[in-house]
Structure 1
Amino acid sequence: MSELVITRIFDAPRPMVYRAFTDPDQLAAWFGPVGWSVPRDTVDVDARVGGKQVFTMVNDADPSMASPVNAVFTAVVENELLVGEEDVSHIPDFGAAKLVMRLEFHDEEGGRTRLVLTQSPFPAEMETGAREGWGSSFTKLDKLLA
């Protein structure tokens, strides 16, 4: 098991990038790698400690392929930090019962935002696919923020 860390600069101010993760309409518009969608009616976000983030990613080509996310926020600082725990015990070969995701939002020059995403514990053999998935998702987020 390892820690997956991805840093990405977005050409948008911090509150705008933060909202893309906490506003259900925006989350549904960008989340998931290319070829996957998040139906708006599956999204529920309550961005406070103890609040939930629930949604389902659905494969565009084969809607029977779905990946539900059901996380609980453990730390929330508006426009700065989101930390959530997801029960992943149902995922074969994951090797852990809980996955912790930490999103840190930092100001960058020119009104941009540096996002630092950390997921742990993370199975090393799933890391490449996860990096590619996040990169693909973030390409969709770039278009939404433009």
Structure 2
Amino acid sequence: MTANVIVTVEREFDVPRPQVFRAWTVPAELAQWRGSPGWHVEPSGLVGEPKPGGRHHHVTVRESDGLAVTTDGVYTEFFEPDVFVSRERITGDPGIDPAVPLELRVEFTEMGRHDTLVRIIQGPYEPDVAGWHGEAWEKELNRLADFLGTAGQEARR
């Protein structure tokens, strides 16, 4: 098979764009929400160099069996707080060939006074695994919404 499917997922958050962008690009914040339910980001070894050519790295671990999935990426574009693009190699995920890099593009669009539309575009995926990777992004965005709600409450205190 040929990896030729691009996954696109969108979600609108009632949170200012700079705050949403930080949740994606500041390692300590990213570690609090990335991963589907039943997964967590290992706090050790997080790397985030938010600039073109900057490296980012994180490991998500499935709690039920310890399966570790490692993401190593380099930002090819970085325009805070509008968009970043990363070329990534993902190892440990049985549905992704670690020899084939993926491109991740995340756009942050201001909607009204305080809302932010997040658009995730990632691929190429093999056709038989693209659907469940899209579902995984949906679950992660639910966790991001929870994190941003909590982070927003703390910021208002």
TM > 0.5 fold call = yes
Q: Using the alignment, how far apart are the partners of 1:113 and 1:61 within structure 2?
A: 33
Determine if the alignment matches structure 1 residue 127 to structure 2 residue 126.
no
Letter of the 1:86 partner, please give it: E
Q: How far has the Cα of 1:92 moved from its partner? A: 5.9
TM-score, length of structure 2 as denominator length = 0.85
Letter of the 2:84 partner, please give it: L
Determine if the alignment matches structure 1 residue 50 to structure 2 residue 53.
yes
Q: 1:97 aligns with which of 97, 100, 122?
A: 100
Letter of the 2:100 partner, please give it: A
Q: Is the contact made by 2:69 and 2:93 (CA closer than 8 Å) also made in structure 1?
A: no
Q: How far has the Cα of 1:93 moved from its partner? A: 6.1
Q: Using the alignment, how far apart are the partners of 1:21 and 1:139 within structure 2?
A: 14
Q: How far has the Cα of 1:91 moved from its partner? A: 6.0
Residue aligned with 2:32, SS: helix
Letter of the 1:106 partner, please give it: T
Determine if the alignment matches structure 1 residue 26 to structure 2 residue 29.
yes
Equivalent in the alignment of 1:75: 77
**Length, aligned pairs only:** 145
Q: Using the alignment, how far apart are the partners of 1:89 and 1:41 within structure 2?
A: 17
TM-score, length of structure 1 as denominator length = 0.91
Q: Is the contact made by 2:16 and 2:115 (CA closer than 8 Å) also made in structure 1?
A: yes
Q: Which has the larger displacement, 3-12 or 26-35?
A: 3-12
Unaligned runs of 5+ in 1: none
Determine if the alignment matches structure 1 residue 35 to structure 2 residue 31.
no
Letter of the 1:44 partner, please give it: V
Q: Using the alignment, how far apart are the partners of 2:72 and 2:6 within structure 1?
A: 20
Measured on the aligned residues, the alpha-carbon RMSD in Å equals: 1.7
Q: Using the alignment, how far apart are the partners of 1:46 and 1:56 within structure 2?
A: 16
Alignment identity in percent?
A: 28
Q: 2:117 aligns with which of 114, 117, 120?
A: 114
Q: Is the contact made by 1:89 and 1:97 (CA closer than 8 Å) also made in structure 2?
A: no
Equivalent in the alignment of 1:17: 20
Letter of the 1:100 partner, please give it: E
Residue aligned with 2:44, SS: helix
Residue aligned with 1:140, SS: helix
Closer, same or farther in 2 for the Cα pair 1:90/1:138, shift >3 Å? closer
Letter of the 1:38 partner, please give it: V
Q: How far has the Cα of 1:90 moved from its partner? A: 7.5
